[in-house]
Amino acid sequence: MSDVETGSAPEVRTAYGTVRGAVERGVAVFRGIPYAAAPVGALRFRAPAPPEPWTGVREAVAYGPTAPKRPYAPPLDRLLPDPAVPGDGWLNLNVWTPSPGAAALPVLVWIHGGSLVHGSSAVPVYDGTAFARDGVVLVSVNYRLGVEGFGVFPDAPANRGLLDQLAALEWVRDNIAAFGGDPDRVTVAGESAGAISIAALLASPRSAGLLRRAVLQSGAPAALPPAAGRRTTELIARRLRAPATAEALAAVDPEALLTAQTEVTSGGNPLTGRTSFQIVVDGELLPHDPVAALHAGASAGIDLLTGTNSEEYRLWFVPGGLTERISPLQLRLALLKFRVPNATARTYRANRPGATPGEILGALATDLLLRVPLNRLADARTTAPGSTYVYEFGWPTPVQRLGACHALELGFVFDTLDHPDTRALTGPDAPGELASAMHRAWVDFAAHGDPGWPSWDARRPVTVFGPTAPSLVLAPRDDELRCWKPRRR
């Protein structure tokens, strides 16, 4: 009998030492396994290094340390709980498996979102029990955030957070078979900044052979030139009265550095704009702009599942009252700033009678920054050897009139609607049958490369996970998508 069947603590031998997990709700779980050395001291602002091997058995029942971060600012902190675990060994991961004694099970690696400054694998919404229950080995990953992971310096490698993610995927390749997983059947999934990260990894030659499928949830390919990406680092250094170098900021008290980072990046939101950290085209890990690379065929053989939520903007616009505060004049100024054609704005207004200027702006921004680029990516892959599937999540939460907002789909994908942290966004009565359907689609995609509806072609099929049963819709709101001309890069 297996450890899971007997309920005894399972042990697994990795390349760096043996770990002991626990049996919880019928699956084996291992938490806080280091996949790289702690990025402190001489390793701070460096590429990830292998972890130190250990002797004996390492307990792996508690989440490992999370990267330095601050909670979401009010009022989002009540909607997006973001636990922090102290310690230096941030580069760790968790594994849920039906049984370490299994063989060749599909693997799903989860890369969390959070604008590259928030989030971790310890967020309860990302509990992998349901995936393991349904035959998928779930791996969730921590990576460096903020200036530690994405600050741009002249004396340190860029995109360190992405390098961390690659190191985690290499760990999965080398170790996941010991947990019952198949290293040749790895799906990498992520939401928001996690999806943006995965798009960059897909565009990087270094990801070759590390994954077979990918899921991009509410995050489109994007990257900046290094000079533009360096601006946030320079603002932080200026606030600290220090040179904008890795050597100088490594000497700054970590709490002071985190305070300066928070002050520089606070205000605004991902749709209206703010000072933020971004992935950069560094010429090494990321040789080319990921949009151009993916449209030109990079990772064309990788199966892709991608989509957005119907009202992404409402997470940022509604809690602070932005939907009501934006005036017609402010809407017009925003349309000029984003270079939105008048005809496009007229179409969106006509499709939303009675909508406020803030709601019109939110719908436009959602499509401009998320839905349109992901549809174009799907279009670019119509002749690719890898299949592409598109979804839309449209169930509206009753919480604070947030509707089908950004991040709402996560509890449905992970089938964690019963957790209090999930209910902060979904409310207590979210439909379990919708979670079962959405979770099953992700399981089937990881296992077989087919979530259960037709792949993308000229008909533009989209499965909508809405208030009623999931339904297949051809070219939803195509009149709006046709309004957008390709943006000059």
Each residue of 299-315: pLDDT tens digit?
Answer: 999 999 999 999 999 99
**Of 65, 60, 54, 66, whose CA–CA distance to 100 is shortest?**
60
Whether 406 is a known active-site residue: answer: yes
Q: From the candidates 115, 120, 121, 192, which is the catalytic residue? A: 192
Q: State the pTM of this model.
A: 0.97
Does residue 352 or residue 267 have the better pLDDT?
Answer: 352
Look at residue 267 and tell me whether its pLDDT is greater than 80.
no
Inter-axis angle of helices 254-265 and 226-240, nearest 10: 120
Look at residue 1 and tell me whether its pLDDT is greater than 90.
no
> Do the beta carbons of residue 341 and residue 483 sit within 8 Å?
yes
CA distance 318 to 221: 26
- Least trusted range by pLDDT, from 151-160, 293-302, 320-329, 366-375: 320-329
pLDDT at 38: 98
CA distance 105 to 135: 7
pLDDT at 488: 45
pLDDT bin (cut points 50, 70, 90) of residue 81 is very high
pLDDT bin (cut points 50, 70, 90) of residue 489 is very low
Return the H-helix or E-strand segment holding 171. Answer: helix 160-175
> Do the beta carbons of residue 91 and residue 67 sit within 8 Å?
no
pLDDT tens-digit series, residues 158-172: 999 999 999 999 999
pLDDT bin (cut points 50, 70, 90) of residue 270 is confident
Q: From the candidates 118, 406, 439, 480, which is the catalytic residue? A: 406
pLDDT tens-digit series, residues 223-262: 999 999 999 999 999 999 999 999 999 999 999 999 999 9
pLDDT average, residue stretch 210-220 = 98
pLDDT average, residue stretch 28-44 = 97
Burial environment of residue 355 by CB neighbours within 10 A (0 to 12, 13 to 18, 19 or more): middle
pLDDT at 271: 73
pLDDT at 486: 64
Whether 192 is a known active-site residue: answer: yes
CA distance 133 to 137: 9
Q: pLDDT above 90 covers what percent of the chain?
A: 93
- Least trusted range by pLDDT, from 73-77, 140-144, 387-391: 73-77
Structure tokens at 414: 């992970």
pLDDT average, residue stretch 95-111 = 97
pLDDT at 273: 73
Look at residue 272 and tell me whether its pLDDT is greater than 80.
no
Whether 312 is a known active-site residue: answer: yes
- Least trusted range by pLDDT, from 1-15, 380-394, 426-440: 1-15
Q: From the candidates 312, 359, 409, 480, which is the catalytic residue? A: 312
Which amino acid, residue 446?
A: A
The torsion angles phi and psi of 262, rounded to 5 degrees, stand at -65, -40
